[in-house]
Structure 1
Amino acid sequence: MDVLARANALRAAGRSVVSLAVGQPSDPAPRIVREAAARALADGAIGYTDALGRAELRQAICGHYRDHYGLDVPADRVVVTTGSSAGFNLAFLAMFDPGDKVAITVPGYPAYRNIMKALGIEVVEIDLEGAAWLTAEALERVHREEVLKGLLFASPANPTGAVIPVDELKALVEAAKQMGIRTISDEIYHRLCYTADDVTALAFDDDVTVINSFSKYYCMTGWRIGWMIAPQRLVRAIERIQQSLYISAPDLSQIAAARAFDATSELEAVRERYLANRAMFADALPKLGFAFAAPMDGAFYAYCDMTRHSNDSMAFAAKMLDEAGVAATPGRDFDPFEGNRYMRFSYAGSNDDIAEAIRRLTGWLG
């Protein structure tokens, strides 16, 4: 946030800044989505919905699981949320009590840690120690010491973009189940896997809680709309918490999101641009002294070791912004232990933005 605030200040002062910092698509929501929202807004009947969400959208999400994963998910397990952020809140509140130990991986999305700490949940951070993903063996070692109540992981991951191979994912989910660990799978970057097909954790354990969102692949970040697939035994508790915290997800966004699954051709064109940006980064970043800390298998991030240039990612990010006009995210956001050595670059922007950022960094770093 400090980097973004500085970038905005520079832009306001007339400086040209290329942002590789923000984890959101630069494209608008698909046309069919915006048209549905415009019609609904013109009709004016925008209000509260059932706490679990509009029936039309919940059925559309079920159709997505049939078409994309080959899974039959009943509509009564689908909860529409105010973005994935609300989904995490609802899952944590329904699944855990204050003092419970829940494991996350480092590096990882910082909001996991922040939300759980605010709720009084004890966060156990598993250092991947250079590995790209968490393994069943590593989870078992930590569980022997910590006696975990929960596990949260993401594939593709933020900030690394790493995708857990299907055999490793199956082993991890099954190991957690055998140890009585309740699992949350963050799948918000699904449909942005570049090296393998999407595989949901639900394929290996029907009791997993899955969080997903329309923000990333579907380009609906500001619409604040997401979903979760919850175990049947948790749905009523989640519904009651949703009623108290949010009432429901925004009605207008729900109406629009129901059409997102019909916009595949438009969205795949955006995905192709990410692939082109990814290729540019794969070629340029190592030449510029940024070594990949994990394979760019999915999402739209490159997480790099930058110790060739600095051991202080915060200071380096500020210097890069001021002198080169390129904004990126310091690793300290994602790893409180070793994040000073890393930088996250987002390639969710336009092809021209990525090319210009590379040109500026090449000139700046020589």
Structure 2
Amino acid sequence: MHVGVPREIKNHEYRVGLTPMAVAELIAHGHQVSVEADAGLAIGYDDSAYRAAGARITDARGVFEQARLIVKVKEPQASERALLRADQVLFTYLHLAPDREQTEALLASGACCIAYETVTDQYGGLPLLAPMSEVAGRMAVQAGAGCLEKARGGRGVLLGGVPGVPRGKVVILGGGVVGSNALAMAVGMGAEVRVLDRDPQVLRRLDRQYGNRIQTLFSTSVTLEEQLVEADLVIGAVLIPGAAAPRLISRAVLARMQPGAVLVDVAIDQGGCAETSRATTHAEPTYVEEGIVHYCVANMPGAVARTATQALNNATLPYVLALANKGLAQALREDRHLLAGLNIAHGRLTNGGVGEALDMPVQGLEDALETLD
């Protein structure tokens, strides 16, 4: 199969779909790979490294014209969506639930689109979302701590405090992969940390791990409001796979928070968990509403692109190989977890969460499989 790797063009996105090592693996399996010029240059993978791995270097149009399988990192931008064809497979993060424009364009393309974030595993996890969730969770506290500095609009609070001065209060909404990694960083920085979740098993796991260094709380509307109004830093780490994030923080509650407090909404890829959240970029990462600094960058791991690319490739390469070696239909039939990643198939939406969020009709995955032969 011919595999294509375009250069990411989203604002300050430096990750790349395949590293030279991953390309070499595909070449060893008898596949062809086209990589857009300078796709990995910003993170130390220059064109010569890709050529040495066996790839052909071309421009964006060349990648899309030649490849049957397009491997990316972020959702295709408008100029990229215009290049997609009905005989192609797109494998990338999509986050369609809050993005009607992208969804309609991908449906119109006729391509089959597999979203990293809805591929599952035998343990009930999301193996292709997990590595970036780990990165984003760890970055969230780092970013939030910086935003708390007075010069950046924050309260002027040091999360770890100093002797004789209270520590900063961090409230984490959700104890999954993002929340657990944010928790590790916040505890490491010496903050006073509280984690809210609605799953008692998650709370027990975190309590066993951290003991009295943190406080775990079952999330109710009353408890949530009580914690938010006292917080210096709030990390939005909630996730409903494939669906829009629940809006847990209303504008009214936000207005009661301490002026200069910070919200890092990691759930922004799925629409955000606050009524006031809207996607930002690394170029302009923050804005202030109701006196609260909002950090809502939709591609946070792009800031640590080399680490993030390597972690992502470790997770995605086995699936890329399966798609290239077996073809789309056979790969999906043999791996029901990969099938869960199919969001769009030949003009039909196949993910229930996205359909519910956008009020669009959905074709069942089994029916979609029949159209792939």
Q: TM-score, normalised by structure 2?
A: 0.31
Tell me: higher relative CO, structure 1 or 2? Use CA pairs within 8 A at least 6 residues apart: 1
Q: TM-score, normalised by structure 1?
A: 0.32
